[in-house]
Amino acid sequence: MCGIAGIIKNNKRTIADNVNSVNNMLSVLNKRGPDDSGVFSDNVCVLGQTRLSIIDLDTGHQPMKDNTHNITITFNGEIYNYQELRKDLEKKGYVFSTKSDTEVILKTYIEYGANCPKYLDGMFAFVIWNSDTKKLFAARDRFGKKPLYYTLHEGQFIFASEIKALFKIGIRGTIDYGAIDNYLSLMYIPPWKSVYSNIHVLPPAHILLYINGDVKIKKYWSLQNKLINIQYQNAKKKINELINKAVRKRLIADVEIGALLSGGVDSTLVTERAQQHVTKPIKTFSVSYTGHSSDESKYAQRASETIGTDHHTLETPCVSIEELTKVIEYMDEPHADSSNFPQHLVSLLASSKVKVALSGDGADELFMGYGWYWKYWNTRKIVQLKNFFFSTPFKEYIKNISVFTKDERKKIWKNPDVVNENFIPKEIEQEKNLLKKINLFDILVYLPGQLLSKIDRTSMMHSLEIRSPFLDTELAEFVYNIPTEYKMNKHKGKIILKDILSDSMSKEFVYRRKQGFGAPVQEWIKEKDIAQYILDLFNKDTEIYKFLKKDEVINIIERFYKGQKELYYKVWSLVCLEIWMKANSKYHE
């Protein structure tokens, strides 16, 4: 895993200036790649990279120039099928100078041009510069595991893995209040937006071409509706095979690989399959919320004992304001997932033992594991009738997942004109099937916007690479198109996945009530020190009062502490937003 950055210069800047700027950007990306760093420059372009060495430790230095063509790459990620691609390319006459997956991307680009990402199986964000044609090509993986931000600033194209690298060289962000409104609804910024109107994100599954000051973006992949007519047992067997294959591919490395083991279905299944492919106990990691109801560490321990791993647990009695602030500051954009803090802690623990860890992320989205999939069918008939005439099931779903509803946001904003619901892509709006509609929202919006951004930042804080087998392309495309009833019914989700795990784990373990990996936020913010911190925070002239109504914010805080416990996510979202604004306001225009 790595941090990448670069600048395509204008006529006013010298290359020496831009080399200095790229080195400054790399200095704040060093956690993403503490093992090595490098800079490439020609008379127009400067590329930089900080490297976390995982594959080809000796000859994988970047940026990497091709051995036959005048093109250079800076790359963040891992390509799992690079060995197969290399063999195919060698048959076509290509000669390689290294054993790295980076060089395979270069040769794949030479062979297939802008279509090259379609051949890559992995997680990636990369930029290739052609010194002859002066063209820049960039691409991001299908699900958005690895980030890539860019801006056009003073006639220059500037990019980096994280926004903080852009701020390091003097770029200032212009707040997009429409994106802040999306955050108040979702607790995150939609994955095709940035919180800044002048800083952009390359969306998942997209390529970018920059030529002579012009930026063009195109989508290269999407999930297709191709219903697979297959019997349940055959589907179960096929998924079993695909999970095994996905895990095996993600065990390729020249360093030790561990696993994040929460004790849930997804992480347990991934860990079990990983252990089957290695000869010694793999190191596994979990977090324990001492004394809290959401503590699942006993299940992680049980899974470890059954599978035979070398398990490590970090106990955390309460959130620390200092640690919470550290995580929120590192996130670059407003983000209020309750698992940000435990993900930071488990990454800290894992990084003390390994450089790479597997995770179970993506299973809930692909196998319909969330309660909202069957919520509508279990509502009273009178509510269904009301929805039929006055709303739609999808609108009710959006209302259900929103922290602040549209009406509540209009009430809290000083300028209610910024309120919007521009976080639903066209392909979701055009989908007619309700379950597919919700499923697509989870995969295209929630997964990259909330989960994958959290995993990338909290793991990279500690120079840890996370690999997610459930987000294997072949597995995802298959699962998306098996009959819905294999994944969920009116009472439960992840049916076929739980069935697979129940072949090796007890029914009581597999079919217990779902808890998720969130932190006990409601309990934490009621504790005396945290509560006082929050009350003090909002009784001052805070940053968010520049655009939100102070009396409305205080009203929410006070009602929560007077007993309206259902407001806890509103309080948490406002706390995270204020901490983020306070940390980043110095970078804002």
- DSSP notation for 128-182: EEETTTTEEEEEE-SS--S--EEEEETTEEEEESSHHHHHHTT--B-B-HHHHHH
215 and 253 share one domain: no
- Enclosing domain of residue 549: 525-587
DSSP 514: P
| Distance set, CA 12 to CA 43, 136, 150, 473 (Å) | 13, 20, 20, 44
569 and 508 share one domain: no
> Is 428 inside a domain boundary?
no
- Which residue, 532, 518, 534, is CA-closest to 576? 534
- Which residue, 168, 169, 166, 130, is CA-closest to 147? 166
CB count in 10 Å sphere of residue 415: 10
**32, 181 in Cβ contact below 8 A?**
no
188 and 55 share one domain: yes
> Is 379 inside a domain boundary?
no
86 and 174 share one domain: yes
> Strand pairing of 71-79 and 64-65?
antiparallel
Place of tokens 């060289």: 169
Beta strands in 223-371 (DSSP E): 257-260, 283-288, 310-315, 356-358
> Strand pairing of 156-160 and 200-201?
unpaired
> Is 427 inside a domain boundary?
no
| Distance set, CA 422 to CA 43, 181, 191 (Å) | 41, 10, 12
> Is 137 inside a domain boundary?
yes
211 and 243 share one domain: no
147 and 67 share one domain: yes
529 and 514 share one domain: no
251 and 198 share one domain: no
- 0.85 cut: is pTM over it? yes
> Is 175 inside a domain boundary?
yes
**62, 6 in Cβ contact below 8 A?**
no
32 and 172 share one domain: yes
Q: 43 is written with which tokens?
A: 């008379």
**Chain centre to alpha carbon of residue 384:** 34
CATH number at residue 172: 3.60.20.10
Q: What is the pLDDT of residue 230?
A: 98
What is the chain's pLDDT, residue by residue, as a tens digit (589 residues)? 689 999 999 878 889 999 999 999 999 999 998 888 899 999 999 999 998 877 666 677 899 999 999 999 999 999 999 999 999 999 999 999 999 999 999 999 999 999 999 999 999 999 999 999 999 999 999 999 999 999 999 999 999 999 999 999 999 999 999 999 999 999 999 999 999 999 999 999 999 999 999 999 999 999 999 999 999 999 999 999 999 999 999 998 888 999 999 999 999 999 999 999 999 999 999 988 766 666 678 899 999 999 999 999 998 766 778 888 889 989 999 999 888 888 999 999 999 999 999 999 999 999 999 887 776 555 545 455 555 555 677 887 888 889 999 999 999 999 999 999 999 999 999 998 888 999 999 999 999 999 999 999 999 999 999 999 999 999 999 999 999 999 998 888 999 999 999 999 999 999 988 765 567 788 888 888 899 999 999 988 899 999 999 999 999 999 999 999 999 999 999 999 999 999 999 999 9
Q: Domains in the chain: how many in total?
A: 3
459 and 497 share one domain: yes
> Is 444 inside a domain boundary?
yes
> Is 375 inside a domain boundary?
no
Q: 160 is written with which tokens?
A: 């980096």
74 and 94 share one domain: yes
Q: What is the pLDDT of residue 522?
A: 84
315 and 197 share one domain: no
What is the Cα–Cα distance from 286 to 275, expressed in whole angstroms? 17
Of the three residues 518, 538, 568, the one that is the final residue of a domain is 518
DSSP 331: T
Of the three residues 493, 518, 543, the one that is the final residue of a domain is 518
> Is 416 inside a domain boundary?
no
